[in-house]
Structure 1
């Protein structure tokens, strides 16, 4: 039972959690402002989850620019295609999420919030504009703010430096160690 309630996340100094909250609030406020001035639906729930990773866990491989933008774009493109090909049924949404997850892992663009993009697509049927208005614009704005924010004290290395690939090109650790 103790393992279920043990917190594995390290304790951060006040400045770090304050900066994380500031980044998340400012990032989502900027996306909401962009939605208001443009009249486009930039604000979607998965971007809120992206903000948590970008500003509270910037060292995570899942919070890197390629993962955030690439994961959302991949999820949106695949979801829009599947939405056109599949009937609107309970199993279609599950299939879309599964296909998106598999492709994100295979392409090393895993970004958990992007796993919710197929749900948004299947619930709202937004059309191809979804790729540009909330997905590309929103994720690029959040990543741009992360570049700026993580240069403020206390500084955080963001994005991570490129690690040299393993000799055979395949990871040696299990997937749980990577995420």
Structure 2
């Protein structure tokens, strides 16, 4: 493989982490909660348009003031936090406030992105900074640590579906702010706690006349996804049926069901002599026959005597009537 072809192939590479997590993610239970509670968790039985930008501006201002004030009050009045001498307010929270109280319909400001985006960025920022601090020339190259931290955090957020632009600021602060560098890994916990407080304020303020969040983990309808997977699973079972199995003779006295001239019994299928089945049709009949057999094993169906001799009802492999042609293999009755 040449470098040029590798570059061309890489243009189509795509990693969707939700394709791996969604099958194991439980659907939202919010519809089961009392209305007064589910409303402030973002659930709406009936969807409606967002308010106009005048009310949006008012609530955005109220939310931003309250959110940042709550974070600053907690950080500056909690003894265990003050012991680490944090800044009065972590700057990246200001950028988060714009997303979580203003652009509340943006995927970038939903809880998954806000919480995990900030957390991933803080972890990356602290880890890379500590690696750079092993160098005796750290002070002269810490700007490189900031750039590498932000770039790495950005890549990880994209791959994990947690892109939150203010997270990039958290990664840079971990490498360039003396106060935050002194906190070390404690900064990660501080970011998680601050983001949680901000989300809590958002749930209250943003749900008075608007709606937040639009989703907690994924915008995909997980209930519909699970129903589709169950349907696909049944289809896979049907596709796994081998057409060659449909050579059973209908035996006298077995369970049966009649479908407009086609008789399906637990141990075989009876089809009119002039009817030629396609491969897919034969598979469907085999699936129905197998279901009858399983029900018969449980004693569900009654035994009904057959009126035709078994030799009239044997299904065998045959080809379409055109001689010398390589047409699709079909099934008929002999």
Same fold judged by TM-score > 0.5? yes
| RMSD, matched Cα | 1.9
1:107 alignment partner in structure 2: 160
- The CA deviation at 1:43 is 2.0
2:74 alignment partner in structure 1: 34
Cα distance per residue 1:112-164 (max 9 Å; x no partner): 0010112211122131110112x0111000011111112112x22x1113433
**SS of equivalent residue, structure 1 residue 152:** coil
1:98 to 2:144 alignment: no
8 A Cα contact 1:66 1:109, kept in partner: yes
Return the TM-score normalized by structure 2.
0.44
8 A Cα contact 1:43 1:138, kept in partner: no
Between 1:58-67 and 1:13-22, the stretch displaced more is 13-22
- The CA deviation at 1:12 is 4.0
Kindly indicate which of the two structures has a greater share of residues assigned to helix.
1
Q: Where does structure 1 differ by over 4 angstroms across 4 or more consecutive aligned residues? A: none
Aligned partners of 1:31 and 1:66: how far apart in 2?
19
Aligned partners of 1:163 and 1:91: how far apart in 2?
36
1:160 to 2:214 alignment: yes
1:22-171 matches, within 5 Å, as: 22-39=62-79, 40=81, 41=86, 43-87=89-133, 88=138, 89=141, 90-123=143-176, 124=178, 125=181, 126-133=183-190, 135-153=191-209, 155-156=210-211, 158-161=212-215, 162-164=218-220
Higher relative contact order (CA 8 A, sep 6+): 1
For the pair shown, which has the larger CA radius of gyration, 1 or 2? 2
Aligned partners of 1:66 and 1:35: how far apart in 2?
23
8 A Cα contact 1:73 1:131, kept in partner: yes
8 A Cα contact 2:117 2:163, kept in partner: yes
Aligned residues: 153
8 A Cα contact 2:146 2:173, kept in partner: no
Kindly indicate which of the two structures has a greater share of residues assigned to strand.
2
